[in-house]
């Protein structure tokens, strides 16, 4: 008995030492980040805020797309790789519809058209997403996890091909109906279209939060996400709830599509690949399956990217992607569940 | 309570259920009459939970019929079966851990539209389980096993079912709570709900039930009135530790 006692204690000490070392390393990383931000802020405050504003615009778009990943993952534990490409189809739909309606300049008529096409793009992407789930994922629900995952990759290629046939292989620049100017706050330029992006996104997030937390359908969504069979036993039509979830994720991707097309201008058949990957990273960063986490992750990545691209002391634009994924990797080391991810034993 | 004439509320006729190629239930025939408490007892893996999951529509029988109020339900979707009046408190409780006790109860009444009655039923189940009232705003996953079990039963009652399926409601509970749960089952029946109870605690189940079926390896071994079976030497030896 006495001889075995120290052998029992030392692994515990080792575990504790590792936890302390891990926390110290995390604090060190955060401290370095804080110093970096502070140095830039004091050296070039205007540039700092300017970069942050542009980062924020991208960030809210990432957030809208990230929500589509996280909604679907939350409910059927599938990484829907076709989601970024759905967003790309949203940009094309917006470009072709607005131009087709002859709305190419900023005018009251153009703004009205923007609102109309926003709604249409949301309906368009929602319908496609629901169809994809019905045709491709539904019958694989009881299959091993790898099967729907590969199917999702396949759907991604199909959507890209549709985009290729629709838009051609080269990037195309489309006109915008949003006001082009900007105003200044303390030397920082704020584009009018950034305000549009942020207002529309905030409205959609509020609507989505209300649906998920306060409506009967939202309650059924959360129940289905937590335990599908138990949800069935409550009388919830699980198939309908999953369709609704895909519709919601698709609608947000459609909204991101028109906002992207109207602010960035260019789009291309493979625009969804890179943005989708970043948005997926945002969802993981925030804690996949967590709605607030997806928004937080998206905005964080956008702002960090913006700062990295625009600050005097930074890695610069060519390192943009590397910085994003380095942050993801570090977070996964220190907090594998993501920023807001839950780590509670749910299946008791 | 046991009326031999009249239409059974629930009837299983030669029901076979498989998981892949493995038969879990091999030709089960049983009935539950309106107003009865019927218990299905048997050892681990006898096919008791499989039977309840089949009745609720979570599993499809490969062969045989399930009828409820004279209509076949073995090809009916699970949510439609709840709508027809069958609620289940499943094995392992399966409460929604990240929702509050209150939200769990609301989900039990998911298909109901009669708001006043729902409020009254909520009062009734909270009277049955005062502990749940104390925890009403707590996340269900943070409660003890016994409290979660009460919630699972209360949630099923919120559907105001004609037939209540209870899967191992005494599992893992302290003896005091086991007594409480079985008392509650009698109260539930007095309220007009028919009960089909699956139990490993055969002694307590036979005490509260009118009739019993003994299941062994997916086959029906014995059936009869609960009183007779409690005295049956084979049952006593195998399940009552005699």
Greatest C-alpha distance within chain B: 50
Is it the case that residue A316 has pLDDT exceeding 70? yes
Q: Provide residues of A within 8 Å CB-CB of chain B.
A: 216, 219-220, 222-223, 226-227, 229-238, 342, 344, 346, 348
Looking at residue A168, its pLDDT comes to: 92
Is B98–A342 a contact, with Cβ atoms under 8 angstroms apart?
yes
What average pLDDT does this structure show over B39-60? 94
Looking at residue A348, its pLDDT comes to: 26
The 3-state secondary structure of chain A reads: CCCHHHHHHHHHHHHHHHHHHHHHHHHHHHHHHHHHHHHHHHHCHHHHHHHHHHHHHHHHHHHHHHHHHHHHHHHHCCCCCCHHHHHHHHHHHHHHHHHHCCCCCCCHHHHHHHHHHHHHHHHHHHHHHHHHHHHHHHHHCCCCCHHHHHHHHHHHHHHHHHHHHHHCCCCEECCCCCCCCEEEECCEEEEHHHHHHHHHHHHHHHHHHHHHHHCHHHHHHHHHHHCHHHHHHCCCCHHHHHHHHHHHHHHHHHHHHHHHHHHHCEECCCHHHHHHHHHHHHHHHHCCCCHHHHHHHHHHHHHHHHHHHHCCCCCCHHHHHHHHHHHHHHHHHHCCCCCCCCCCCCCC
Q: Which residue of B has its CA nearest to A229?
A: B58
| CB-CB neighbors (< 8 A) of B93 in chain A | 348
What average pLDDT does this structure show over B123-143? 94
DSSP tag of B5: S
Looking at residue B240, its pLDDT comes to: 72
Residue A337 — pLDDT band, cuts 50, 70, 90? confident
- Dist CA B40 CA B25 (whole Å): 13
What average pLDDT does this structure show over A4-16? 66
CA atoms within 13 A on the CB side of A8: 5
Is A219–B93 a contact, with Cβ atoms under 8 angstroms apart?
no
Residue A22 — pLDDT band, cuts 50, 70, 90? confident
Looking at residue A2, its pLDDT comes to: 47
| CB-CB neighbors (< 8 A) of A346 in chain B | 97-98, 141
What is the pLDDT of chain A when averaged over all its residues? 90
Looking at residue A342, its pLDDT comes to: 67
- Dist CA B86 CA B12 (whole Å): 14
Is B83–A235 a contact, with Cβ atoms under 8 angstroms apart?
yes
The DSSP line for B51-116 is HHHHHTTSS--SEEEEEETTEE-TTS-HHHHHHHTEEEE-TT----TTSBHHHHHHHHTTT---HH
Is it the case that residue B2 has pLDDT exceeding 50? no
The dihedrals phi and psi of A32, each to the nearest 5 degrees, come to -60, -45
Q: Which of A74-83, A280-289, A327-336, B54-63 has the lowest mean pLDDT?
A: A327-336
Is it the case that residue A24 has pLDDT exceeding 60? yes
What average pLDDT does this structure show over A8-22? 77
Residue B233 — pLDDT band, cuts 50, 70, 90? confident
What is this structure's pTM? 0.90
Residue A308 — pLDDT band, cuts 50, 70, 90? very high
Q: Which of A162-171, B89-98, B220-229, B231-240 has the lowest mean pLDDT?
A: B231-240
Each residue's pLDDT tens digit, A118-168? 999 999 999 999 999 999 999 999 899 899 999 999 999 999 999 999 999
- Out of A227, A235, A348, the one facing B79 most closely (by C-beta) is A235
């Amino acid at each position: 008995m006495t001889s075995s006692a120290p052998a029992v204690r030392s692994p515990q000490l080792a575990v504790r030492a590792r936890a302390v070392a891990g926390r110290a390393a995390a604090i060190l990383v955060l401290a370095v980040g804080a110093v970096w931000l502070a140095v830039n802020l004091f050296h070039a405050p205007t540039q700092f805020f300017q970069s942050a504003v542009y980062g924020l615009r991208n960030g809210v778009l990432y957030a809208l797309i990230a929500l589509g990943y996280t909604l679907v993952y939350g409910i059927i534990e599938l990484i829907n790789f076709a989601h970024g490409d759905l967003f790309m189809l949203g940009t094309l739909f917006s470009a072709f519809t607005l131009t087709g309606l002859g709305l190419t300049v900023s005018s009251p008529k153009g703004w009205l058209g923007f609102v109309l096409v926003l709604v249409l793009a949301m309906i368009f992407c929602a319908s496609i997403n629901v169809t994809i789930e019905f045709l491709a994922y539904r019958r694989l629900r009881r299959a091993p996890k790898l099967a729907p995952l590969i199917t999702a990759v396949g759907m991604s290629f199909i959507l890209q091909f549709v985009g290729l046939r629709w838009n051609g292989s080269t990037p195309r620049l489309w006109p915008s109906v949003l006001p082009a100017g900007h105003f200044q706050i303390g030397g920082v330029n704020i584009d009018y279209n950034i305000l549009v992006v942020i207002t529309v996104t905030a409205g959609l997030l509020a609507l989505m939060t209300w649906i998920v937390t306060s409506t009967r359908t939202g309650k059924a969504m959360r129940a289905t996400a937590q335990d599908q069979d138990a949800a069935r036993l409550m009388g919830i039509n699980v198939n309908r709830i999953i369709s609704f979830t895909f519709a919601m994720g698709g609608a947000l991707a459609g909204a991101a599509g028109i906002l992207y097309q109207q602010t960035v201008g260019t789009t291309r058949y493979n625009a969804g690949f890179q943005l989708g990957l970043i948005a997926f990273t945002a969802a993981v960063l925030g804690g996949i399956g967590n709605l607030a986490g997806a928004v937080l992750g998206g905005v964080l990545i956008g702002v960090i990217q913006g700062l990295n691209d625009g600050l005097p002391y930074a890695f610069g634009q060519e390192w943009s992607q590397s910085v994003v994924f380095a942050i993801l990797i570090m977070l996964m080391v220190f907090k594998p569940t993501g920023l807001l991810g839950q780590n509670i034993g749910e299946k008791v | 309570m046991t009326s031999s004439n009249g239409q059974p509320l629930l009837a299983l006729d030669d029901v076979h259920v498989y998981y892949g190629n493995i038969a879990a239930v091999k030709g089960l025939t049983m009935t539950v009459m309106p107003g009865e408490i019927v218990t299905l007892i048997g050892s681990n893996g006898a096919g008791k939970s499989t039977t309840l999951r089949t009745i609720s529509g979570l599993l499809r029988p490969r062969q045989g019929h399930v009828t409820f109020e004279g209509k076949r339900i073995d090809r009916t979707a699970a949510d439609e079966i709840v709508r027809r009046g069958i609620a289940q408190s499943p094995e392992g409780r399966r409460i929604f851990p990240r929702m509050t006790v209150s939200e769990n109860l609301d989900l039990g009444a998911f298909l109901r539209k009669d708001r006043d009655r729902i409020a009254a039923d909520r009062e009734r189940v909270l009277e049955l389980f005062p502990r749940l009232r104390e925890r009403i705003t707590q996340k269900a996953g943070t409660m003890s096993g016994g409290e979660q079990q009460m919630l699972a039963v209360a949630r099923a009652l919120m559907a105001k079912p004609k037939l209540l399926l209870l899967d191992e409601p005494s599992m893992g509970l302290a003896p005091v709570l086991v007594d409480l749960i079985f008392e509650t089952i009698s109260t539930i029946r007095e309220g007009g709900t028919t009960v089909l109870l699956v139990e490993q605690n055969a002694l307590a189940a036979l005490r509260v039930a009118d009739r019993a079926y003994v299941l062994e390896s997916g086959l029906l071994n014995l059936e009869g009135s609960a009183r007779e079976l409690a005295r049956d030497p084979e049952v006593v030896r195998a399940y009552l530790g005699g």
